[in-house]
Structure 1
Amino acid sequence: MNTRHSTLVATGMVPALLLLAACGGSGDDGGSGDGGSGDGEATSFSTEATGAIDAWAFDNADDVGQARLDHAEQALTDVEIQLDPTGFDAQKFTTRIASGDVPDVVQMDRRYVGTYAAQGLIQPLDQCFEAHEVVPDEHWYPFVVDDVRWQDQVWATPQFYQPPAVLLNRDVMSAAGVADEDIDTSDLDVLLPAIEAMFTQSGSNPSTLGFDPQPTGQAPLWVLGMGGTLTDEDGAPTLDDPANVAAIEHVKAIIDAQGGYAPYKSFADSFDFFGEQNQFVADQVGAQVNAQWYPNVLSPYVDEVELGAVPFRDADGAPFAVASGTAFVVPVGAANPDGACAWMVEVTSLDAWEAAGEARAATIAAEGGVNTGLFTGSPEADQAIREAHVQPSGNEAFDQVIETYYEVVEYGQSFGASPVGQEITNELTNAMTAALLEDKTPEEALADAQATVMRAYENVSTD
């Protein structure tokens, strides 16, 4: 499998085909904003959008991204948008800020936003939204906004939210006598017998997984879904929460029912995840946790496999999803915060997303694929694109997959903004891996992870 694809799968990241992309340059025509104080004071934004915007940290734009960029350029005729297509790098970001080479807009994973807010490197955007008459909790899903809300201020303009669900391979399930209702992530008494019925191996190596939980790429989903916590109300890490132990034990039972983590990991790494012999076509999985973008990968193969989907269910048996995605921030010291604010609002507007929906529909029509919709982070935009472009595909099973993702989108929960958000995700993944390999008990793994993240948190808190 391609190395870059392997990384995306392992980290649970969204592939470039669904991200906005492009941005950089050196804007020297300032707006009227004060550049931010870095101490949590509200930045003064106006609606004056003129001059150049230096925007950085965007992958190259696909059809969705380019349509939104084109819309913003047409809407903001007095703004020159200079775009740098290189990806975000945390070390480079702090170096640029320290050296005075400050971009006006930066795109980053939402898990970084709390970190840079706490460090005083980015500006709060509440007055940006107020100036442009945007109410964040109405414009975006509230739990998406919570990803970028810290100390009662909103620090970024979010985009995208692809909720997870469980994709089903009904060919494997039917052969094993497993029904949709047996794939219940909340109830091991039901799920484990279904897994065991579908699981096959060749010698000591798996040949079909009954259920692939994607335990490291989706570790926060499992912890939060099973009643655990990542942070407290102040953003302090809580990885040693006893409820997190139960969540890891829950996942470990699923993996152990299929031969243990080492053979599972070796087999899962061999999947042709983005190719013609992907794990569904090759009957290598009976069910698998996947984010909303993955059905796009499978749509060319809908005639080769009988797909389905059910919600991921939390510890209480209710549908559950977690918010994730990217966001735009305005660094402290930006030369043109007003232009940056106007651009961020415009590129995440309903009009921009409708233009993106049109572009994606045209691409899909030209390629003969199935339109699964766009999941933008904005409920109004999601619904508008669905009504305009998501039509019955002629494949009833695949339409049920699409419908399931639209049903679960409203059950999202924020990861929670934290000064050490990315470190929490990294250390939780390390703890999950250590526990599944039985290098440590779940309690030991989480305690070590908590100690590591707390050191980082205390360093940020005392700076």
Structure 2
Amino acid sequence: MLALTVAASITALTACGGGSGNNTAQNADFGSEPTGTLKIWGFNNADDVGTSRLDYAAEQLEGVDIEQDNGSFDAQKFTALAASNGLPDAVQMDRNFVGTYAAKGLLMSLDECYSENDVDPDEAYYPQVIDDVTYDGKVYAVPQFYQPPAIMLNMRVLNAAGVSPDAFDTSNREGLLAAIQTLYKESGGNPTTLGFDPRVPGQAGIWLLGNGGQIMDEDGKPTLDDPANIDAVEFMKQMMDAQGGYAKIKSFIDSFDMFGDNNQFVADQVAAELIEQWYVNVVATTAPNVEISAVPFRDKDGNPFTVASGTAFVIPKGAKNPAAACAWALNLTSTDGWMAAGEARAANIEKEEGRLNTGLFTGSPEADQMIREEFVGSTGIPGFDEAINTYYEVASEGKSFGISAAGQEIQTELQNAITAALLGEKSPEEAMADGQAAALRAWETTTGENSE
């Protein structure tokens, strides 16, 4: 239902009009002193990392009255508020949405927001992170967080089977499949231990890009039927079929206590898993009961590789207080803001015996390094130290998925196509061709361009 809701919302946006974000007038004095009331939306379920930065940003905006809607971002709600000119001054959303709303003229370009506040986005953020929010040559958001995927290893399972971490080299398909088959266990035809959970279709993007494919071109036009993409999907299916098939694997994964005391690494339900950095922090709560390490995902040439993902803050067209919104978002994601978060997280960790500091990944290489140097020492557990180091080291190797006027719909069609291929409902070539046709229709509808 989520995919349908998102697609319907974006279609509705097209009907709302708006036109090109570059052609719609923008009246905002980003260099003025922030005053008045600032309305923000989307900062939901803030933990110590969030609340400490919210407090820091509020302190920098003395005299600004901040009103906060803590609800999660909702595409239909955004559409409705945009149509009634009722959007707040700043909104947090997944970076996949930024291109769509920028193309419809619903977001302000933030180039002047950055320049008036002496922030160079190309220096302040990882290039792949700022690429996520740069549409038609203009920056439309202030990014926060960067969660690079890597391969987390269950060393207890690997050691018992005599499998080396080197076997999880994603550029060596034959060797990887052999390791998967060695480590895979089943009972009554159903999985009990996965040799490798590649997190597909959700993490399909890293497999496509790492294989030399692309999801969209430089203009945002979908490219799902790229031959390199089809080749990657064929290998995804091989991995699934080597472990009982996608349907059984999905049912097994759905049973995981992913955030609990009996998570898949405690229960030895996986030997390895492709997963983002934040999960190291989850597994750290069960450190006495796991033996983990990590290795980087590798591209087809054997080089460490990862992809960018995360959220961002946008300022809608029609915002009543853009100057305060700009200052607030920049303060929230400044090195000082992130260091406040690092300090708060470290203080809370010290209060809980056995809790580990696995670091923060902010979207800013400078902030990441400062937090690592100040707060992230050795955990005293070699495997966790190896995992933490792997994620820090791979962060600089990331690549953006691209940005498009139909970005979210392209992602939806990609997920649908890969699911059909993994289930065997269509061949990988047929599935990606059908996905491309649907994504292309969405892109043409959104942009008003004809690909022929």
> TM-score scaled to structure 1, two decimals?
0.90
**Aligned counterpart in structure 2 of residue 459 of structure 1, from 440, 445, 450:** 445
Partner residue of 2:59? 74
RMSD of aligned alpha carbons: 1.5
Deviation at 1:300, TM superposition (A): 2.2
Q: What letter is aligned with 1:57?
A: G
Deviation at 1:143, TM superposition (A): 0.6
- Distance 1:187-1:43 versus aligned 2 partners, 3 A rule: farther
Partner residue of 1:449? 435
Partner residue of 1:320? 305
Deviation at 1:301, TM superposition (A): 2.0
- 1:228-307 alignment, distance < 5 Å: 228-307=213-292
Question: The residue matched to 2:289 in structure 1 has which SS?
Answer: coil
Partner residue of 1:117? 102
Q: What letter is aligned with 1:438?
A: G
Q: What letter is aligned with 1:162?
A: Q
Q: What letter is aligned with 2:262?
A: Q
Partner residue of 2:391? 405
Partner residue of 2:339? 354
Contact 2:154 2:270 in 1 (8 A): yes
Partner residue of 1:201? 186
Question: The residue matched to 2:420 in structure 1 has which SS?
Answer: helix
Question: The residue matched to 2:182 in structure 1 has which SS?
Answer: helix
CA distance in structure 2 between the aligned counterparts of 1:47 and 1:346, rounded to whole angstroms: 15
Q: What letter is aligned with 1:360?
A: R
Contact 1:43 1:125 in 2 (8 A): no
Deviation at 1:155, TM superposition (A): 0.4
Instruction: Work out whether 1:341 is the aligned partner of 2:326.
Output: yes
Instruction: Work out whether 1:169 is the aligned partner of 2:165.
Output: no
Q: What letter is aligned with 1:71?
A: Y
Question: The residue matched to 2:285 in structure 1 has which SS?
Answer: helix
CA distance in structure 2 between the aligned counterparts of 1:379 and 1:147, rounded to whole angstroms: 16
> TM-score scaled to structure 2, two decimals?
0.92
- Superimposed CA distance per residue, residues 141-162 of structure 1 (whole angstroms, 9 cap, x where no aligned partner): 0110000001110000000001
Partner residue of 1:102? 87
Q: What letter is aligned with 2:23?
A: D
**Aligned counterpart in structure 1 of residue 402 of structure 2, from 416, 421, 439:** 416
- With 297-306 and 384-393 compared, the bigger mean Cα shift is at 297-306
CA distance in structure 2 between the aligned counterparts of 1:92 and 1:101, rounded to whole angstroms: 10
**Aligned counterpart in structure 1 of residue 76 of structure 2, from 91, 100, 106:** 91
Contact 1:220 1:425 in 2 (8 A): no
CA distance in structure 1 between the aligned counterparts of 2:245 and 2:21, rounded to whole angstroms: 52
CA distance in structure 2 between the aligned counterparts of 1:426 and 1:55, rounded to whole angstroms: 27
- 1:143-158 alignment, distance < 5 Å: 143-158=128-143
Deviation at 1:108, TM superposition (A): 0.3
CA distance in structure 1 between the aligned counterparts of 2:352 and 2:419, rounded to whole angstroms: 39
CA distance in structure 2 between the aligned counterparts of 1:449 and 1:243, rounded to whole angstroms: 15
Deviation at 1:303, TM superposition (A): 2.1
CA distance in structure 1 between the aligned counterparts of 2:429 and 2:298, rounded to whole angstroms: 24
Unaligned runs of 5+ in 1: 1-6, 8-35
Deviation at 1:375, TM superposition (A): 0.2
Partner residue of 1:39? 23
Contact 2:150 2:294 in 1 (8 A): yes
CA distance in structure 2 between the aligned counterparts of 1:37 and 1:91, rounded to whole angstroms: 20
Partner residue of 1:391? 377
Partner residue of 2:5? none
Deviation at 1:58, TM superposition (A): 2.1
Percent identity of paired positions between Structure 1 and Structure 2: 57
- 1:359-378 alignment, distance < 5 Å: 359-368=344-353, 369-378=355-364
- With 396-405 and 43-52 compared, the bigger mean Cα shift is at 43-52
Deviation at 1:77, TM superposition (A): 0.6
Deviation at 1:42, TM superposition (A): 6.5
CA distance in structure 1 between the aligned counterparts of 2:416 and 2:439, rounded to whole angstroms: 12
Contact 1:209 1:285 in 2 (8 A): yes
CA distance in structure 2 between the aligned counterparts of 1:313 and 1:46, rounded to whole angstroms: 44
Partner residue of 1:49? 34
Partner residue of 2:172? 187
CA distance in structure 2 between the aligned counterparts of 1:169 and 1:155, rounded to whole angstroms: 40
Partner residue of 1:426? 412
- Distance 1:40-1:376 versus aligned 2 partners, 3 A rule: farther
Q: What letter is aligned with 1:388?
A: E
Q: What letter is aligned with 1:56?
A: W
- Superimposed CA distance per residue, residues 400-427 of structure 1 (whole angstroms, 9 cap, x where no aligned partner): 1111111111100001111111111111
- Distance 1:144-1:43 versus aligned 2 partners, 3 A rule: farther
Question: The residue matched to 1:303 in structure 2 has which SS?
Answer: helix
Q: What letter is aligned with 2:393?
A: E
CA distance in structure 1 between the aligned counterparts of 2:250 and 2:220, rounded to whole angstroms: 32
Question: The residue matched to 2:339 in structure 1 has which SS?
Answer: helix
Contact 1:309 1:404 in 2 (8 A): yes
- Superimposed CA distance per residue, residues 296-331 of structure 1 (whole angstroms, 9 cap, x where no aligned partner): 111122222221100011111111111000000010
- 1:135-146 alignment, distance < 5 Å: 135-146=120-131
- With 40-49 and 316-325 compared, the bigger mean Cα shift is at 40-49
Deviation at 1:37, TM superposition (A): 7.2
CA distance in structure 2 between the aligned counterparts of 1:404 and 1:161, rounded to whole angstroms: 15
Unaligned runs of 5+ in 2: 3-19
Deviation at 1:40, TM superposition (A): 5.7
Deviation at 1:38, TM superposition (A): 6.1
- Distance 1:394-1:277 versus aligned 2 partners, 3 A rule: same
CA distance in structure 2 between the aligned counterparts of 1:378 and 1:336, rounded to whole angstroms: 26
CA distance in structure 2 between the aligned counterparts of 1:210 and 1:117, rounded to whole angstroms: 42
Partner residue of 1:32? none
- Superimposed CA distance per residue, residues 353-394 of structure 1 (whole angstroms, 9 cap, x where no aligned partner): 000101111111112310011000000110111111101111
Deviation at 1:85, TM superposition (A): 0.5
Contact 1:163 1:408 in 2 (8 A): yes
Question: The residue matched to 2:361 in structure 1 has which SS?
Answer: coil
CA distance in structure 2 between the aligned counterparts of 1:137 and 1:285, rounded to whole angstroms: 39
Q: What letter is aligned with 1:406?
A: Y
Contact 2:21 2:106 in 1 (8 A): no
